[in-house]
Amino acid sequence: MKITVFGATGGTGTHVVGQALAAGHDVTAVVRGATRPEVPADSRLYVAEAPLGDPDALVPLVTGRDAVISALGARGRGPTTVCADGARSITTAMRTAGGGRLVVVSASGAHTTGDGPATRLLVKPMLRRMLRHQFADMLAMEEVVRCSGLDWTIVLPPRLTNGAPTGKPVRSRVGGNVRGGFTIARADLAEFLLLAAADPGLVHTSVSVAHG
């Protein structure tokens, strides 16, 4: 596949780029500065520095792609609109380019459907207070994506951990959170994102993921 990755230098995005290259895909990694993804040099990797606020600049980077994956995320806990603004630019550029497959990362913490009583009534209220700006941004992004007219999938992970792929099974659930799933490794999330990008059964769905 030909894949464009936004947020390519972040914790999840770097794994997406590396795993996509290892699987033989051609990857365009979109970055917001001079930093490159920390992956081995590969002739199938093209790194593009582009302003996320300019949809016209993104059109060449999403044209003719089999899938676009956005792993954009905010740094810190202050007010932010990076996810929603990025989604607006990406979806606008993709519509200009003729549409296509879009997979974005949000967060299961912003939702309670499928959660057990303790998580729904105790854990999530505290989490929403701590991460209110990030969750508001992600929910706004989700709405942009749902209204985009594209072949979208929203992936909802819980707390992300670092390190190599765990080899643990990834549980998933469409339309609700994975009950009892509190963490997932970024490397394992990246693997699921690539699988989702090639799965027509996940078009127009929000799917929660977590380790078993």
pLDDT digits (tens, 9 = 90+) for 28-43: 999 987 678 888 878 8
CA angle 204, 68, 203 (to 5 degrees): 15
**Rounded (10°) angle between helices 55-62 and 82-97:** 60
Using an 8 Å Cβ cutoff, are 32 and 5 in contact? no
Q: How confident is the model at residue 121 (pLDDT cuts 50, 70, 90)?
A: confident
Q: How confident is the model at residue 135 (pLDDT cuts 50, 70, 90)?
A: confident
Total structural domains within the chain: 1
Adjacent-strand bridge partners of 206: 154
pTM of the model: 0.93
Using an 8 Å Cβ cutoff, are 16 and 53 in contact? no
How confident is the model over 137-181, as pLDDT tens digits?
999 999 999 999 999 999 999 999 998 888 888 999 999 989 888
pLDDT of 102 higher than 90? yes
Per-residue pLDDT, 212: 65
Better-predicted residue by pLDDT, 78 or 159: 159
Q: How confident is the model at residue 75 (pLDDT cuts 50, 70, 90)?
A: confident
- Cβ-Cβ contacts under 8 Å for 198 (sequence gap 6 or more): 1, 67
Mean pLDDT confidence for 93-111: 95
Phi, psi dihedral angles at 172 (to 5 degrees) = -140, 155
pLDDT of 50 higher than 80? yes
CATH code for the domain in which residue 70 is found? 3.40.50.720
How confident is the model over 58-74, as pLDDT tens digits?
999 999 999 999 999 88
Which range (126-135, 162-171, 189-198) has the least confidence?
126-135
Rounded to whole angstroms, what are the CA distances from 59 to 63, 98, 167? 6, 10, 36
Q: Which two tokens stand for residue 79?
A: 């007010």
Q: CA-based Rg of the chain, rounded to a whole angstrom?
A: 16
Q: Which residue has the tokens 């630019």?
A: 89
Q: Which two tokens stand for residue 188?
A: 């394992």
Range of the domain at 192: 2-211
Query: At 130, which helix (H) or strand (E)?
Result: helix 124-130
Mean pLDDT confidence for 176-190: 92
Per-residue pLDDT, 131: 77
Q: In the chain, where do the E strands start and end?
A: 2-6, 26-31, 45-49, 67-70, 101-105, 151-156, 159-161, 170-174, 183-185, 205-211
